[in-house]
Amino acid sequence: MVATARGGPLAFEERPVPAPGGNEILVRVEACGVCRTDLHVIDGELAYPRYPIIPGHEVVGRVEQVGSAVERFKLGERVGAPWLAHTCGHCFYCDSGRENLCDHGTFTGYDRDGGYASHMLVDADFALKLPEGHAVELAPLLCAGLIGWRSLKIAGEAKRVGLYGFGAAAHIVAQLCVFRRQEVYAFTRAGDARGQAFARSLGAVWAGGSDELPLEPLDSAILFAPVGALVPAALRTVRKGGRVVCAGIHMSDIPSFPYASLWGEREILSVANLTRADGAEFFAVAKAAGVKTQTRRYALRDANDALSDLRAGRFEGAAVLVP
């Protein structure tokens, strides 16, 4: 399923199965999660869009062929292809352990064809070894889980954690918080009783609209909803010294707000991409926490329906495409 132009629906195409280069692996896609970042790519909201592009960066599959230089993987092995597809390995950021900020990085489903397909090529150095299990249930962990984990780390030491936008990422992060004995406060669209009930079912101690204030000040708040107006709203919920973490790759403009909302050593931070180390950490924690994903399955040809349902918030958890 191919994005051929900004804002247009994805088009179904048949292409020859690609052959891997020296350090590439050919992956037969078993499942690919549908992420809000895919909407940003398709809508042309990110800088330097490349069209045509095959979206998808929450990919679970099997190694079907290996390039001549590949030693890490063998045929039939279960692998994952996340957002980070390649880095230069020698810039300031790569040398300082922050490959997620590499100026020369490339990204799956954005400037390198992704997993809305039956097969894809993956740089072997950036593929993740995945546990066995149901491919559909694993797929959302490749971005919603990984970015959620990185956001939770950046949120710092926190007893009370607010989650704005209770979708794919938040429903995973909530389970991690409960495992780590952190209290979850879920913020949804105003009047979203179904979403709030879903949050409580996953252990949230409080759930309400994003225009509401919890009874206790929060230590940190993570914004998964790409709505800039939520930044000053979240600042009002955190204590002095608290953090507001913006977890999305794109967000609408942040409106002006009084300095008093920030004063008291409150911080606003952003999360950018992920590192391979995040993957190793997250999958170990997710296993220990017994994280379970709630998914809605779609056929690959129904990718436009999945994206439409995601945009409209018609399901809890995550959408997953299956070739």
Q: pLDDT of 171-221, one tens digit each?
A: 999 999 999 999 999 999 999 999 999 999 999 999 999 999 999 999 999
Query: pLDDT at position 250, please?
Result: 96
Q: Tell which residue, 51, 59, 116, has the closest CA to residue 85.
A: 59
What are the chain's domains?
24-142+293-322 (3.90.180.10), 146-270 (3.40.50.720)
Name the DSSP class of 3: B
Classify each residue of 244-269 as buried b or exposed e, where b means 16 or more C-beta atoms within 10 Å of its C-beta: bbbbbbebeeeeeeeeebeeeebeee
Q: Rounded mean pLDDT of 231-252?
A: 97
Q: pLDDT tens digit string along 42-67?
A: 999 998 888 999 999 999 999 999 99
The Cα 99–Cα 25 span in angstroms is 21
DSSP code at position 108: B
Confidence band for 120, pLDDT divided at 50, 70 and 90? very high
Q: What does pTM read for this prediction?
A: 0.95
Share of the chain above pLDDT 70, in %: 100
Mean pLDDT of the chain: 97
Q: Kindly state the average pLDDT of the residues 236-256.
A: 97
Between 48 and 251, the more confident residue is 251
Q: How many CB atoms lie within 10 A of CB 145?
A: 32
> Residue range 270-299: average pLDDT?
96
The 3-state DSSP class for residue 187 equals strand
Q: pLDDT tens digits, residue range 71-89?
A: 999 999 999 999 999 999 9
Higher pLDDT, 50 or 151: 151
| % of the chain beyond a pLDDT of 90 | 97
Interior/surface letters 185-219, b for 16+ CB within 10 angstroms, e for the rest: bbbbeeebeebbebbeebebbbbbebeeebeeebb
pLDDT at residue 49, as a whole number: 81
